[in-house]
Structure 1
Amino acid sequence: MAKATRKQALGRGLSALLNENSSDIKSANDKNADKVVGSIIEIELELIDINPFQPRSYFNEEALRELASSIKQLGVIQPITVRKLDGNKFQLVSGERRFRASKLIGNTTIPAYIRLANDQEMLEMALVENIQRKDLDPIEVALSYQRLIDEIDLTQEEMSQRVGKKRSTISNYLRLLKLDPIIQTGMRDTFISMGHGRALINIENTEDQLNIYEKILQQKLSVRQTEEIVKNLKNGVNTAPKTATKQVETPKFVNKGLKAISEYFGHKVDVKLSGNDKGKIIIPFHSEEDFNRIKKLLQ
C-alpha cells in the first residue's frame, strides 16, 4: 500500500512540475527539462493534438471499440508518446489508437511519455513506427518508405538501418508503387497478396497487368499460377484473357473516363457499346464482400 501511495504522490509531483514549468521547456538544455522530458505523466486529452505527420488515415471503428472496452476494464497499459510544444500543449508521436479509444469512453487524461522533437524527427518517427506495425497492407508500407525517401531524404541503405529491414525488402515494397492504381487498390483490399503484386510488376504493359489481375480474381489463382502466366506472357505465350472484338469503335469520351471509373471501383470496368454513343458499363465483383463494397460506393 505504501508503494502505491508513493507512486501516486510522484505522479502528482511530476504533473505539478509540468503545469508550472512546461511552458519554459523548449530544448533539452532548459531548466527542469530533465525532470519532464523522458517522464511518464498523466496528461489531459484536450492538451494533446493529433500528429499531422501520421501516415495512417484509416482506423477500423470496430477495432477501436474493442480497444476502448479493454481500456475501460484495464486502463491504458502502454503509455502513448507525445512531443512537447510551446506552452502546455503536446502532439502525438505514437499511440493514436489508444488516444482515440480513450476519448471514445469519455476519459479525460491518458498516461504519456514526453519527448522533444522537431517536425522532421516527428515525421520520421511516425513513418518508422508505422512501418513496424503488423496490420499494414503492402501498399501502406511502400508509401511510408517512399515518404522517407521524398521527405526525409533517406537512401534505401539508411532506411534499412533505421527500420531493421534488408535493403532488398525495401526495394521490393517500393516496386509495388509502379503497379496500376487498380491493382494497388486490390492489394489494399486483400483481393490479392503482395506475392501476386510482385509477379505482376514484371509485366510492363498496363493492359496486360489488368487482364492478368482480373484472371487472378475470377479464377482465384495462386501466386505460383500467376508467376507461370507472367512467365508465359514474357516468353510470347499470351495466356491473359482476350478481350472481345469490338463491333463498334469506342468513343473517345469513353476511353477517357474508363480509367477513372475503374480506379473508383477498384476493378477494371468494361463497357458494352450499342452504337450512336450508347452502351452499358459493366462493373465486375468477385465475392459477396466485394459486391457490398461496390454497392456502398453507388449509394
Structure 2
Amino acid sequence: MAKATKKQALGRGLSALLKDPDNDINSVTDKNADKVVGNIVELELDAIEVNPFQPRSNFNDDALQELASSIRELGVIQPITVRKLDFNKYQLVSGERRYRASRLVGLDTIPSYIRIANDQESLEMALVENIQREDLDPIEIALSYQRLIEEIELTQEKLSDRVGKKRSTITNYLRLLRLDPIIQTGMRDGFITMGHGRALVNIDKRLDQLGIYEKIIEDGLSVRQTEELVRQYHDSGSAPKKSTNKKLDKSLFILNSEIALSHYLETDVSLSTQDNEKGKLSLTFDSKEDLNRIIKLITGE
C-alpha cells in the first residue's frame, strides 16, 4: 500500500512539473524529460484530445458503460498512452475506451504514459497498439494493416515483423477488404465470422457475394457449409437459387438494414421503398408476448 501511495504522489509531482511553463518539455533532450517521458503521470482529461489516427471506429455502448462502472469502483487500472503536443496539451495514442469511460464517470484526471512523437510515429503507435487488442473485429484489423502499409509505407514483410504476425495472416486480413461493404458491416456487427468472410472473398462478383451472404444469414450456415456453398458456386458458375431474389434488387443500404433489424429483433423484417427513399417497415410476431418483446426492444423500456 505504501508503494502505491508513493507512486501516486510521484505522479502528482510530475503533473505539477508539466504545468510549469518555464520548464516545458518538447523533446527527449529537454531538461527533466527523463522524469516524464515513459512515466505514469496524472493528466487532466480536459488537456487530452482524441487521436484522429484512431483506427477503432466502433465503441459498444453497453461495454463502455460496464467499463465506466468498473472505473467508478476501482479507478483506472491500466494507464492510457498519450503524446505531448504543446504546453499542457496531449493527444491520445491508445486507451480511448478508458478515456471515454472516465469522462462518463466524471473523473478530472487519468493516469497516462507520456510519449513524444511526430504524427507518423503517433499513427504507427496507435495502429500497432490497437492491432494487439483482442476485441477488435476483423475489418478493423484489416483496415489498420492497410493504413500501416499505405500511410507508413511498410511492406507486408516489414509489417509482419512490426506486429509479430505471419505474413500469410496479414494477407488473409487484407483480402477481407475485397468483400462487399454490406458483408464487411455484417462481419463488424458479428453476423458472420472471419471464416465466413474468407470463404466469400473467393467470389469476385459482388451480387453473388451478397446472394450467398444472405443465405448464410437466413439459414445460419456454418463456415464449413459456406465453404461448400462457395465450392458449388464455382462448379456451377452461379450463386445458389433462392425462393425469391427481390431483396437483391434493393439498395445495399436497404438490404443491410433488413438483415440488421431481423437479427436485432429476432423476427422477419421487410422494408419496401419507393426509389429506396420513403417506404414501409413490416415485421412479424407469433403472439402477444412476442409483440411485447419486440416493442421493448424498439422502445428500450
Percent sequence identity over matched residues?
A: 66
Paired position in structure 1 for 2:159: 159
Paired position in structure 2 for 1:249: none
Q: Are residues 6 and 126 of structure 1, via their aligned partners in 2, closer, same or farther at CA, if it must alter by over 3 Å?
A: closer
Paired position in structure 1 for 2:255: 262
Find the aligned partners of 1:244 and 1:7 in 2 and give their Cα distance.
66
Paired position in structure 2 for 1:121: 121
**How far has the Cα of 1:49 moved from its partner?**
1.0
Paired position in structure 2 for 1:276: none
1:22·1:88 contact (CA, 8 Å) conserved in 2?
no
* Paired residues for 1:149-228 under 5 Å: 149-228=149-228
Q: How many residues align?
A: 275
What amino acid is aligned across from residue 146 of structure 1 in structure 2? Q
Give deviations 1:238-286, integer Å, cap 9, x for gaps. 561247599xxxxxxx96x73453356567x99999xxxxxx989999x
Is structure 2 residue 109 aligned with structure 1 residue 109?
yes
Paired position in structure 2 for 1:49: 49
Give deviations 1:80-121, integer Å, cap 9, x for gaps. 111111111111111111111111111111111111011111
**How far has the Cα of 1:8 moved from its partner?**
5.0
1:83·1:117 contact (CA, 8 Å) conserved in 2?
yes
What amino acid is aligned across from residue 89 of structure 1 in structure 2? K
**Match of 1:41, SS?**
strand
Find the aligned partners of 2:145 and 2:282 in 1 and give their Cα distance.
33
What amino acid is aligned across from residue 54 of structure 1 in structure 2? Q
1:83·1:90 contact (CA, 8 Å) conserved in 2?
yes
Q: Are residues 3 and 281 of structure 1, via their aligned partners in 2, closer, same or farther at CA, if it must alter by over 3 Å?
A: closer
Q: Are residues 116 and 263 of structure 1, via their aligned partners in 2, closer, same or farther at CA, if it must alter by over 3 Å?
A: same
Paired position in structure 2 for 1:134: 134
Q: Are residues 110 and 244 of structure 1, via their aligned partners in 2, closer, same or farther at CA, if it must alter by over 3 Å?
A: closer
What amino acid is aligned across from residue 200 of structure 1 in structure 2? L
* Paired residues for 1:240-279 under 5 Å: 240-242=240-242, 258-262=251-255
> Which shifted more, 258-267 or 168-177?
258-267
What amino acid is aligned across from residue 261 of structure 1 in structure 2? I
> Which shifted more, 4-13 or 77-86?
4-13
What amino acid is aligned across from residue 26 of structure 2 in structure 1? K
Q: Are residues 168 and 7 of structure 1, via their aligned partners in 2, closer, same or farther at CA, if it must alter by over 3 Å?
A: closer
1:64·1:97 contact (CA, 8 Å) conserved in 2?
yes
**Match of 1:235, SS?**
helix
Paired position in structure 2 for 1:251: none
Paired position in structure 2 for 1:250: none
2:42·2:109 contact (CA, 8 Å) conserved in 1?
yes
**How far has the Cα of 1:181 moved from its partner?**
1.2
What is the TM-score when the length of structure 1 is the normalising length?
A: 0.80
What runs of 5+ residues in structure 2 fail to find an aligned partner? Answer: 261-268, 274-278, 285-289
What amino acid is aligned across from residue 38 of structure 2 in structure 1? G
Paired position in structure 1 for 2:97: 97
What amino acid is aligned across from residue 255 of structure 2 in structure 1? S
**Match of 1:85, SS?**
strand
2:254·2:271 contact (CA, 8 Å) conserved in 1?
no
**How far has the Cα of 1:207 moved from its partner?**
2.1
Find the aligned partners of 2:283 and 2:208 in 1 and give their Cα distance.
17
**How far has the Cα of 1:136 moved from its partner?**
1.5
What runs of 5+ residues in structure 1 fail to find an aligned partner? Answer: 247-253, 274-279
CA-atom RMSD in angstroms: 3.2
Give deviations 1:213-260, integer Å, cap 9, x for gaps. 1111121111111111211221227561247599xxxxxxx96x7345
Q: Are residues 15 and 214 of structure 1, via their aligned partners in 2, closer, same or farther at CA, if it must alter by over 3 Å?
A: closer
What amino acid is aligned across from residue 72 of structure 1 in structure 2? R
What is the TM-score when the length of structure 2 is the normalising length?
A: 0.80
Q: Are residues 21 and 244 of structure 1, via their aligned partners in 2, closer, same or farther at CA, if it must alter by over 3 Å?
A: closer
Paired position in structure 2 for 1:37: 37
